[in-house]
Structure formats: C-alpha cells, structure tokens
C-alpha cells in the first residue's frame, strides 16, 4: 500500500491511500488521487502515475506542464521510498509526502540481528564481525525504508562489506603467506556469507508472500460474504470492484511466490478442503477457473452432492447408465472439441435415460423439444422420433452446445452449459442488457463468475450449474462416493 500525506495545497492535512498496483494523479474525473481543477490550476488532468513493479513504487511524469519534483529534483521517472516528498506542477503546486506500507509486521532490528548471524557464520574476527553487523543494519534499514521488502541494494551492501573486510585482512597480515591464506579464507568466508544471506532473504520473502496471500484471501472471503447478502446493484458494483482488486493482488502475490518457490506456490494455490480441489480440477476442464469460488455456489454444490448421495441406490443406477452411454458422448463431444465434462448436462436433464419425457414434452436423454430437435437436424414426425436415438440426439446436443459457445464465446463453457435447454433466452437477455452498458462487450463483464457474483443470471440458471457439477464431482471419484466397489478391498481367500 502507498499513502500520501498532503503537505501543501487544497488537500493539506488529509491523507490518500491506495492498495492498487497503479494509480493516476491529476484533476481528471477518473484519477485515483484527484485534485479539484479549480483549486489546483497547476495540476494537469493526468499529471502523473504511480506504478508498483517488482516490489518498488515508481512515480512517472505524464509529460505534464510544470512536471513533478521528488525531494526538490525534477524527474521523469524515479523509485519512491517512504519519506520522499513530491510536488505536482511548478512552484505553488500541491505537495505530498510518501509512506509505503507493504509489510506492517516487518521488524528491522530483528531482521538485522538475523542477517548478522548469517554474515558472521564465516568468521569470528572482531573487526570483520563489526563490519558484518553494520552491513546487516544497512540492509535492514534499506528494507524498512522500502516498506519491508528487498531494497534492491542488498548486494551493494555486501560488496562494500567485502572491500572493507579485505582492507582489514591486509592490515592484520604482514607475511606474504599469511596474507594469501587470509585472503583465500576471507574470500571463502564471504562466499559462504553471501550464499547464506541469499537463502535467508529467500526464506523471509517466501514467508512474507505467504502471509500476504493469507491476508488477501481473508479480505476476499469477507467481500464475498458481503456480496452474498447484498441486493442493491450499486453497492454490489462497488463490492465487485473491491473483489477484483483483492483477487488481482492475491494472484500477483501467488505469481511472485511461484518465482521464489514453485512448490510453495502450488501448495498455496491448492489450499482448501477436498471439495475446493475437486471444483478447481473440473473448472480447469472448462477453462472457467476463478480465484475464489463464491461461497453460495459451493454451498449449493455441496447440497446437490449430498442430495445425490442420499438416494444412493438410484444414483448408482444413473451412474451405470452414464457408464453405458459415456463412450457415445465422448466421441461426439471430442469431434467438436467440447470438454467431456459438459456431458453431465445429460445427468441433470434426464439421468441418462434415453426415453425420459418431461411434462412440457421434452424427450430423450438430452430432453429436446420437437421444434429444437428439428432445428438441429433430427427427424420428429408422426412416424419417426429421432430424439429416442441416443447416437443421433447426442450428436445434435453436441452441435447445440457448440452453437452456444460460438454465440457466447469459445471460453464461455460455463455460460453455454448454464443456458442449455433451461435458461438460454434468459442468459441471452442478460448479455444483451450488459452489451448496452459501457464496456459491456468485454470478456470480464460477460464472464460466468462475474454474472453470478452480481446476481444477474436467472435463478434457475444459477441453480442449474451446481447440479451439473455435483454429478461431475461424484463421477470423478466413483469409488470414494460409493458408485463403484473400492479396488483397495482385499481379495477373498480361495476356498
């Protein structure tokens, strides 16, 4: 987080904080740090930008009249540290003081003490020990100034320490052979110290990243709970923006963690209970992943899983029909490059029954009405009804789903599945309504999870998807859910 304390100008005495990785500064209506154009005539509409990159905030002059000055010096772009002062515009422009808060738990004194131990591991001489202690203090102070992250000057400090230790060795050794041995020992000692410092820094970095991800996850969970209870569309939109900012921070933290330790990142990414992991595995097949599944979606999914398991005998019968017809589904779906898991629409529609008939007149395993079936090329008349032909109707269902993907977008598997034969017109209506808003055509505004969080989907559609995924979850592990005998059961001894 970066915080600006306003020292001069119309905002004097107030503060502005932001957790975003970038923010605009000016009088423009969409600036994150916005000045009133009447009160601050020296500030341009888009005067400057602040960008967080590699753990360091940079301030950038956007070619504004009067420019920007950091600590009295005019700059085009410069790294920021806590305590810096920035003036926007020429003399008389508003001024702010920068405070960077990235890790509030950072303890510079403790960090310096631990770095000293690492650096001193290679030698015990009092003079070199003092140099190492001073070096550790410099490193820790640099990190503290940068907000608890690497100051990017660690190796500079260590290099300076090497030179200082070298001078100490030269003064303490008079004989040539002692000097040579001393220098060799010193070099080895420094290499060990540097390696130890690097390892220590990495461990500290990983710990901070894991802690940061935990804080973001807690924040995301709280926002989701608020969204679940909220009904006002305007307040939902504000919560959605907070959610997007928090997940963006969490995802970047996870990416930073992956660069530092891939195993730790994988472990953190797969956190949660078994159902969380099963949901993520299925969503990956849809290319429909989300950083955090809405709690109400998970609750409804668990409800439908429990419902299927309560009727265990009937569910096993449906599973056996699924096993029988699944090769046909896989063949037709893969011919059009559809994900196999979309085949579970047939479980929800008919329980894989080829002769299923609804009160409305839908027929077959894929529950098609006669007009829809004809549109998809099936013969339905007084003599022949190809909706009862599993192969032909499955081929038609695959075409229908492919058509929906062509309409909604190739990555919109969740929407296509959600709208199959249940809420197709409802989903279309939602997308058409969103298209009339600014940027409504963009992918992020047409994403299933965005529509779900914003409660824009028809209620039937919101319930339909968890039903499908419930079937996919139990069929993904049939032994665990009692659909098949466990292979771990010991064989009966021969008679």
Residues 20-71 have pLDDT tens digits of 888 889 998 888 899 988 899 999 988 999 988 767 889 999 878 889 999 9
Evaluate whether 80 touches 71 at the Cβ level (below 8 Å). no
What is the rounded distance in angstroms from the CA atom of residue 311 to the CA atom of residue 297?
A: 22
3-class secondary-structure state, position 359: coil
Query: Which token pair is 208?
Result: 């901070």
Give the pLDDT confidence score for residue 490 in this predicted structure: 45
Evaluate whether 58 touches 79 at the Cβ level (below 8 Å). yes
Helices (H) and strands (E) in the chain, counts: 17, 11
Give the pLDDT confidence score for residue 491 in this predicted structure: 42
CATH 1.10.530.10 corresponds to the domain 295-476? yes
Predicted confidence (pLDDT) per residue in 311-353, tens digit: 878 999 999 999 999 999 999 999 998 888 899 999 999 999 9
What is the rounded distance in angstroms from the CA atom of residue 362 to the CA atom of residue 354?
A: 12
Give the pLDDT confidence score for residue 334 in this predicted structure: 93
What is the rounded distance in angstroms from the CA atom of residue 348 to the CA atom of residue 318?
A: 11
Query: Which token pair is 148?
Result: 């608890």
Give the pLDDT confidence score for residue 378 in this predicted structure: 96
Report how far apart, in Å, the C-alpha atoms of 81 and of each of 32, 70, 212, 354 are.
Answer: 20, 11, 20, 68
Give the pLDDT confidence score for residue 391 in this predicted structure: 97
Give the pLDDT confidence score for residue 191 in this predicted structure: 52
Residue 2 φ then ψ, to 5°? -120, 140
Give the pLDDT confidence score for residue 30 in this predicted structure: 80
pLDDT along the chain (495 residues), means of 10: 90 88 87 90 91 83 89 92 90 91 56 57 52 60 54 55 54 50 52 56 76 86 91 90 86 84 82 82 74 89 93 90 96 92 93 94 94 94 94 96 84 81 76 83 83 87 89 91 69 39
> What CATH number was assigned to the domain covering residues 2-100?
2.60.200.20
Give the pLDDT confidence score for residue 211 in this predicted structure: 83
Angle at 265 between CA 263 and CA 270, to 5 degrees: 100
Same fold flag, 2-100 and 295-476:
no
Give the pLDDT confidence score for residue 494 in this predicted structure: 38
What is the rounded distance in angstroms from the CA atom of residue 334 to the CA atom of residue 385?
A: 25
Q: 């960077």: which residue's tokens?
A: 100
Pick from 411, 478, 480, 483: nearest CA to 443: 411
The radius of gyration of the chain's CA atoms, rounded to the nearest angstrom, is 32
Evaluate whether 196 touches 243 at the Cβ level (below 8 Å). no
What is the rounded distance in angstroms from the CA atom of residue 475 to the CA atom of residue 481?
A: 8
Domain limits, the chain: 2-100, 104-271, 295-476
Which residues, in sequence order, are CB contacts of 147 under 8 Å at separation 6+? 82, 100, 101, 102, 103, 106
Q: 């260590």: which residue's tokens?
A: 158
Q: 């279309």: which residue's tokens?
A: 428
Give the pLDDT confidence score for residue 398 in this predicted structure: 95
């Amino acid at each position: 987080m970066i915080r600006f304390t306003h020292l001069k100008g119309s905002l004097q005495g107030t503060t502005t904080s932001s957790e975003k990785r970038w923010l605009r500064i000016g009088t423009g209506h969409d600036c994150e740090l916005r000045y009133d154009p009447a009160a601050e005539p020296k500030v341009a509409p888009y005067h400057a930008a602040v960008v967080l990159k590699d753990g360091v905030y940079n301030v950038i002059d956007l070619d504004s009249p009067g420019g920007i000055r950091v600590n009295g010096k005019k700059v085009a772009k410069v790294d920021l540290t806590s305590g810096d002062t920035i003036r926007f515009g020429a003399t008389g422009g508003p001024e702010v003081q920068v405070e960077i808060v990235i890790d509030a738990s950072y303890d510079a004194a403790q960090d310096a003490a631990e770095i000293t131990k690492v650096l001193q591991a290679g030698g015990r001489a009092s003079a070199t020990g003092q140099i190492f202690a001073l070096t550790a203090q410099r490193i820790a102070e640099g990190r503290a100034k940068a907000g608890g992250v690497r100051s990017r000057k660690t190796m500079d400090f260590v290099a300076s320490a090497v030179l200082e230790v070298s001078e100490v060795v030269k003064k303490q050794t008079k004989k040539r052979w002692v000097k040579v041995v001393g220098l060799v020992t010193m070099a080895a000692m420094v290499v060990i110290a540097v390696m130890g410092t690097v390892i220590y820094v990495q461990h500290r970095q990983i710990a901070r990243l894991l802690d940061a991800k935990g804080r973001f996850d807690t924040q995301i969970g709280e926002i989701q709970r608020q969204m679940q209870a909220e009904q006002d569309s305007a307040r939902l939109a504000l919560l959605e923006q907070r959610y997007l900012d928090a997940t963006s921070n969490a995802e970047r933290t996870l990416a930073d963690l992956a660069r530092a330790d891939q195993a730790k990142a994988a472990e953190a990414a797969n956190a949660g209970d078994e159902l969380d992991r099963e949901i993520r595995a299925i969503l990956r097949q849809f290319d429909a992943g989300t950083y955090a599944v809405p709690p109400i979606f998970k609750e409804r999914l668990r409800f439908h899983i429990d419902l299927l398991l309560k009727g265990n005998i009937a569910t096993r019968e449906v599973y056996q029909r699924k096993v029988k017809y699944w090769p046909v589904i896989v063949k037709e779906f893969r011919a059009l490059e559809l994900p196999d898991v979309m085949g579970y629409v047939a479980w929800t529609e008919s329980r894989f029954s080829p002769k299923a008939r609804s009160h409305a007149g839908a027929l077959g395993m894929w529950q098609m009405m006669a007009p829809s079936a004809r549109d998809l090329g099936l013969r339905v008349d007084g003599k022949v009804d190809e909706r009862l032909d599993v192969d032909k109707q499955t081929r038609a269902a695959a075409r229908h789903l492919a058509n929906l993907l062509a309409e909604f977008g190739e990555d919109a598997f969740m929407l296509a599945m959600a709208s199959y034969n249940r809420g197709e017109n409802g989903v279309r209506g939602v997308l058409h309504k969103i298209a009339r808003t600014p940027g409504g055509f963009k992918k992020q505004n047409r994403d299933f999870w965005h529509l779900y969080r914003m409660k824009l989907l028809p209620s039937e559609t919101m319930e339909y998807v968890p039903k499908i995924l419930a079937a996919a979850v139990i069929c993904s592990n049939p032994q665990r859910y009692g659909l098949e005998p466990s292979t771990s059961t010991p064989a009966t001894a021969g008679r």
